[in-house]
Amino acid sequence: MTLAAKAAMAGAVSTNDSAANRPAKRFHVKSFGCQMNVYDSERMGDLLSAEGMTAVDSAEAADVVVLNTCHIREKAAEKLYSDIGRLRRPRADGSRPTIVAAGCVAQAEGAEIAARAPDVDVIVGPLAYHRLPQLLEQARQQRAIDIDMPPVPKFDALPARRIRQASAFLTVQEGCDKFCTFCVVPYTRGPETSRPAADLLREAEGLVARGVKEITLLGQNVNAYHGGLNLAGLIRALAAIDGLERIRYTTSHPRDMDDDLIAAHAEVEKLMPYLHLPVQSGSSRILKAMNRAHTRESYLATLARLRAARPDIALSGDFIVGFPGETEADFEATLRIVAEVGYAAAFSFKYSIRPGTPAATMADQVPEDVKEERLARLQAEIARQSLAFNQASIGRRCTVLLERPGRKPGQLIGKTPWLQSAVVSLPGAAIGDLVAVEIVGAMPNSVDTIPLSPSESAAA
């Protein structure tokens, strides 16, 4: 469908007589979703900056507000409408910003947004946002909608990265063909595609030239990457970039943890000893209903191979409680796998019905109060495990990449190799520095450190 046809489908001609009709100068992008959504937000920022616009920290001060939405659970999607409600109210000077609904809700519910929120000026999906400047131009006349999944990859059309941070995301793979029965991602991000390795090496070199020391490779199924190299090959090629100190990747699917990638964890020093490998449930029966293509046993076997390759590897995961048909016994299998694995961290969610996915219409939906109760028990177990992980790391010497100021004066917060938040007090240290420390204290969500002297850090 052409843009004009889509605009006609949307019906409404934008009637606001303020921001949409004058050249917009200041923009604000708000992310609601996963790390890839954050990457996309940065890239939309790069696009608008390349148009001569300026990023501002608050939506209130912006002429263009991009709401980069997430559709993964019902609550995430609802946030869009409450934000639109707030933004559409006229400001003191009578103006209101141009509102862009971007991201996975825009992709999945573009027509519904158009009907429900006439004040939205642009609706753009995650595979079409490279056209944002043209859509904004078009929105000066009438609402613009672009939720195509174009054959031309958006990445070729994006300008150079502008971020200045110690740690940066880099999308290497997008989309998913796995169709877990609970999940919207295959519908919002389209089929799995990998970016060519040469493009990624170029983007990574550009990031390192801007001072980036850590790159996290992103993909909905990042370990299924196949852009000329496999993921292990890409990691090895990235590790050769001088000045790049740390490499991470997320999110992996247990099915695609191949021998080469596991070997990379043993060999590549810059590859951090941390892996987010969602299992979703500890019950093989539920995993089958989820169409996860792994069992409890095959997942544990994969972890055993990883730990043999890299004994200090820290693990994290995602869990869904209350998937249709989940019994108390299934749930207890999930609690047991958490204790057995000893996760350093984990994310857990109540199953959320996503219209259009197979699980939405499965029998035996679990009542809300049962989901609540299971989630609380699971989160208590996860908290116990992450505290135990942090406690077990006391005495370890490692580096911390400093990312932001701490709560107390003189403190900085950064990440250990195992992705723990670490508090560092080191006079003269600055954000972006990689400092050597010893871990001396453990809290549930962070560790305390003391800096090592230069001679100690050489020995560490």
Q: Which does 188 bind (CB under 5 to 8 A by kind): ligand SAH, ligand F3S, ligand SF4, none?
A: ligand F3S
Number of residues that bind ligand SF4 (CB under 6 A): 10
Measured from the Cβ of residue 148, the count of other Cβ atoms closer than 10 Å reads 16
Number of residues that bind ligand F3S (CB under 6 A): 13
Residue appearing with tokens 């991602």: 185
Contact string (CB under 6 A) for ligand SAH, positions 299-318, x = contact: -------------------x
Q: Which residue is nearest to ligand F3S (CB)?
A: 33
- 88 three-class SS: helix
Q: Which does 200 bind (CB under 5 to 8 A by kind): ligand F3S, ligand SAH, ligand SF4, none?
A: none
- 68 three-class SS: strand
CA pair distance 460, 457, nearest whole angstrom: 5
185 binds ligand SAH (CB under 6 A): yes
Q: Is the peptide bond before 399 cis (omega within 30 degrees of 0)?
A: no
Single out the segment in contact with ligand SF4 by CB under 6 A; choices: 5-13, 175-183, 371-379, 438-446: 175-183
Nearest to ligand SF4 of 181, 416 (CB atom):
181
Q: Least Å distance between CB 223 and ligand SAH?
A: 10
Q: Least Å distance between CB 100 and ligand SAH?
A: 23
Binding residue (CB under 6 A) for ligand F3S from 43, 71, 195, 248: 71
Contact string (CB under 6 A) for ligand SAH, positions 48-87, x = contact: ------------------------xx--------------
178 binds ligand SF4 (CB under 6 A): yes
Q: Least Å distance between CB 412 and ligand F3S?
A: 29
Q: Least Å distance between CB 354 and ligand F3S?
A: 9
Report yes or no: 341 and 389 within 8 Å, Cβ to Cβ.
no
Helix axis angle for 104-116 and 74-88, nearest 10°, is 50
Nearest to ligand SAH of 98, 220 (CB atom):
220
Nearest to ligand F3S of 118, 317 (CB atom):
317
Alpha helices, H only, 210-327: 231-239, 259-267, 284-289, 296-309
What is the separation of C-alpha 160 from the centre of its chain, rounded to a whole number of angstroms?
21
CA pair distance 438, 460, nearest whole angstrom: 9
Q: Which residue in 329, 13, 312, 307 sits closest to 141, CA to CA?
A: 13
Binding residue (CB under 6 A) for ligand F3S from 37, 181, 223, 386: 37
183 binds ligand SF4 (CB under 6 A): yes
Helix axis angle for 259-267 and 231-239, nearest 10°, is 20
Q: Is the peptide bond before 2 cis (omega within 30 degrees of 0)?
A: no
Q: Least Å distance between CB 186 and ligand SF4?
A: 5
189 binds ligand F3S (CB under 6 A): yes
- 119 three-class SS: coil
Give the tokens for residue 136. 């904004």
Helix axis angle for 328-341 and 296-309, nearest 10°, is 10
Contact string (CB under 6 A) for ligand SAH, positions 212-251, x = contact: --------xx-----------------------------x
- 400 three-class SS: strand
Number of residues that bind ligand SAH (CB under 6 A): 17
182 binds ligand SAH (CB under 6 A): yes
Q: Which residue in 238, 199, 176 sits closest to 36, CA to CA?
A: 176
Query: Alpha carbon of 416 to those of 217, 393, 421, 424, 445: distances in Å?
Result: 18, 10, 7, 11, 12
186 binds ligand SF4 (CB under 6 A): yes
343 binds ligand SAH (CB under 6 A): no
CA pair distance 206, 298, nearest whole angstrom: 39
Single out the segment in contact with ligand SF4 by CB under 6 A; choices: 132-140, 173-181, 225-233, 391-399: 173-181
351 binds ligand SAH (CB under 6 A): yes
Give the tokens for residue 48. 């608008």
Measured from the Cβ of residue 434, the count of other Cβ atoms closer than 10 Å reads 15
**Binders of ligand SF4 among 252-311, rule CB under 6 A?**
253
Binding residue (CB under 6 A) for ligand F3S from 19, 24, 29, 34: 34
Q: Which residue in 329, 320, 337, 330 sits closest to 371, CA to CA?
A: 320
Binding residue (CB under 6 A) for ligand SAH from 181, 280, 420, 449: 280
The strand ranges marked E within 132-186 are: 144-146, 167-171, 173-174
188 binds ligand F3S (CB under 6 A): yes
Report yes or no: 159 and 46 within 8 Å, Cβ to Cβ.
yes
Binding residue (CB under 6 A) for ligand F3S from 84, 185, 279, 335: 185
The residues that touch ligand F3S, with contacts defined as CB under 6 A, are 33-34, 36-37, 70-72, 103-104, 184-185, 188-189
The residues that touch ligand SF4, with contacts defined as CB under 6 A, are 176, 178-180, 183, 185-186, 220-221, 253
